Amino acid sequence: MAASILGQPWPLARALQALDKLQIAGLTQTAMAANGGDLLSRIKRLVRPDVQPWHWKMAAPVLGIVAALFLVLQTQVNAAPDQAAPAKSTSQHPILLSAYVKTSSEHVMVMDEQSGKVLLEKNADSVVPIASLSKLVTAMVTLDAKLDMNEMITLDKGDVAGWQNTQVKLYQGMSLSRQTLLELSLIPSSNAAAQALARSYPGGKAAFVSALQKKIASLGLRATHLEDATGISPNNRSSARDLAHLVKLAASYPQLRQLTSRSGGQYRRDGKVVDYQSTNPLIVDKNWDLSLSKTGYSKNAGRCISMRATIAGRPIIVILLNAKNTDVRTDDVMNIRTALEDATSG
């Protein structure tokens, strides 16, 4: 009934969350009307009516909550009459997501890039395998070295050993430019291409791994440890919080922004032009504005994604780790986007 009076459920959901914070702060007298159950479950019923419908017995306590919250807010306003109301703008509008965004990924971090404000987090400090998200640092180290990107590199047996991307088939003796290897490692996430980049680095693979670790230290990523260029190693680990900062820093590389937001590309194999596509299907969706993206997968890491997207008019960084499958990962991204848009539309 309360949601019907307001015309939409989101303002009431935010009011419930604000009331919960007042209770935590010790304003228990104001919250005496909240005696009808757990506030989080009420918020879920508001934003997910298909899961559990409202019943008339819930209406009275919820209306009491709204009335109590209104009185508290009114008192605060009256206590500071000289304070001007904040300007209503997208960049300043508060976003409160953590109480009612459904995510199934094990580790989540959503951050407003401009302010650095964490909008949503879940197990964000756990250090876990990150699979091919490692290739963002591989690309940064490669670009930092200012190597000849047109130099042709012949793949050897070690480059193509192990698991390879099914859509990009590289083989021993094949020659590709360093630029093409960089593109193949980022867009279709070729492990062979990333390994060739590491091997052809000045000083070889050992020097490249050393450069990876120095880069991590210079970026201040204390929860991150990388032992190879691809992410095949389960010892390539990080936290969702560290990765959010990594994406922000990676976005300062124009070439990384350009390459990782491409939907696909081409390379030559046996004299023929072969097409490939990005591992992130959202890039081809015109409803998304992605300026940096990298996916990852391994048995240990699950389905992962790191991305920088413009949502509700602002650059947002989204990190999801260890989703059970691609559909779960996509659902999480969509739920986060919907919540951000709804939270800023008011």
Which positions are annotated as active-site residues? 132, 135, 189
CA distance between the termini of the chain: 20
What long-range pairs does 30-34 form, CB within 8 A, spacing at least 24? 30/68, 30/69, 30/71, 30/72, 31/65, 31/68, 32/68, 33/61, 33/64, 33/65, 33/67, 33/68, 34/61, 34/64, 34/65, 34/68
What crossing angle do the helices spanning 204-219 and 240-250 adopt, rounded to 10°? 100
DSSP state of 162: S
> In the beta sheet, which residues pair with residue 295?
305
Angle of the 204-219 helix axis to the 191-199 helix axis, nearest 10: 100
Q: Interior CA angle at 151 toward 149 and 154, to 5°?
A: 125
Cα–Cα–Cα angle for 50, 53, 57, rounded to 5 degrees: 170
Q: What is the largest CA-CA distance in the chain?
A: 77
Q: Are 186 and 262 in contact, with CB atoms under 8 Å apart?
A: no
* Four-point Cα dihedral 105, 128, 276, 215, nearest 10: 130
